[in-house]
């Protein structure tokens, strides 16, 4: 379900939500983005295998490689010949043992103790932040995946959850939210994330084999 349809669903959960001037179009769009962030943070904290981009190419810019704007956590870095490049941690840099690897500084990757010419490109796998949409203007969004939440929120269950979070955030602003509203919304987020399960299932246990 696209953003504008989810916002419309949220408005139906609030008395006068469709006509009350208390909330601007931009605020409804912000509520949508904040709701996606709320669920994203829970999913990330559970170390589940969502919000991952693989085989993303970084291009050399003089002496560094700019990370993508939606970058959150680096999962894997390799050079053009597919060789893994390790991180040189702070304490290792301070020790100055000459270890070859990379460090992340101010949204860039820099290779350290690299004896040969820097590679023209690097390839990374990384966890990304939720898709950032432009401000909502109150009109229907195009019916494309670009205006849907990222998986796993691009489902009916995800749309219901985002609409519930948006409605709660709007009611908090106008002072009508109750403690139960907030508690139930938090529980809904936890339930949604728990039902996603884990990325891989362990081996089944035989009776008595623990």
How many angstroms separate the CA atoms of 89 and 95, rounded?
Answer: 10
Band (166; pLDDT cuts 50, 70, 90): very high
Query: Does residue 171 register a pLDDT over 80?
Result: yes
* pLDDT at 139 (0 to 100): 95
Per-residue model confidence (pLDDT) at position 42: 94
Mapping DSSP to helix (H, G, I), strand (E, B) and coil, where does residue 115 land?
coil
How confident is the model at residue 208, as a pLDDT? 45
**What span, in angstroms and rounded, lies between the C-alpha atoms of 139 and 6?**
12
Residue 202 has pLDDT above 70, yes or no: no
Whether the predicted pLDDT of 205 surpasses 50: no
Task: Give the residue carrying structure tokens 């100055």.
Answer: 96
Rg (CA), the chain: 22
**What pLDDT score does 201 carry?**
52
Paired tokens of 113 = 């103790």
Per DSSP, helices labelled H in 46-138 are 90-95
Measured distance CA(2)–CA(146) in Å, rounded: 8
The two three-digit tokens of residue 34, written as one number: 């904040």
Element (H, E) at 134: none
Per the model's pLDDT, the better-predicted residue between 48 and 2 turns out to be: 2
83-139, pLDDT tens digit by residue? Answer: 899 988 765 555 566 788 999 999 999 999 888 899 999 999 999 999 999 999 999
Asked if residue 56 lies in contact with residue 68, where contact means CB atoms within 8 angstroms, the answer is yes
Q: What three-state secondary structure class fits 16?
A: coil
State pLDDT tens for residues 12-67: 888 765 555 668 899 999 999 999 999 999 999 988 889 999 999 999 999 999 99
Q: Pick the residue with more confidence: 71 or 204? A: 71
DSSP H or E run through 66: strand 64-66
Q: Which of 208, 164, 196, 209 is closest to 183 using CA atoms?
A: 164
pLDDT score for 60 = 96
pLDDT (0 to 100) of residue 207: 46
């Amino acid at each position: 379900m696209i953003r504008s349809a989810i916002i419309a669903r949220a408005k139906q959960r609030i008395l006068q939500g469709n006509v009350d001037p208390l909330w601007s179009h931009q605020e409804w769009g912000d509520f949508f983005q904040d709701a996606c962030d709320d669920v994203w943070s829970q999913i990330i904290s559970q170390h589940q295998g969502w919000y991952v981009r693989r085989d993303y190419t970084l291009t050399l810019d003089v002496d560094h490689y700019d990370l993508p704007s939606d970058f959150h956590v680096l999962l894997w870095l390799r050079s053009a010949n597919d060789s893994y490049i390790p991180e040189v941690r702070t304490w290792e840099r301070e020790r100055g043992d000459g270890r070859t690897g990379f460090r992340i500084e101010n949204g860039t990757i820099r290779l350290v103790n690299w004896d040969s010419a820097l590679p023209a490109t690097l390839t990374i796998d990384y966890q990304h932040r939720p898709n950032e949409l432009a401000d909502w203007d109150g009109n229907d969004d195009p019916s494309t995946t670009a205006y849907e939440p990222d998986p796993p929120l691009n489902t009916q269950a995800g749309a219901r959850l985002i609409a519930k979070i948006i409605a709660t955030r709007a009611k908090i602003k106008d002072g009508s939210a109750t403690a139960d509203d907030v508690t139930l919304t938090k529980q809904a987020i936890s339930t949604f994330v728990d039902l996603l399960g884990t990325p891989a299932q362990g081996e089944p246990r035989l009776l008595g084999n623990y």
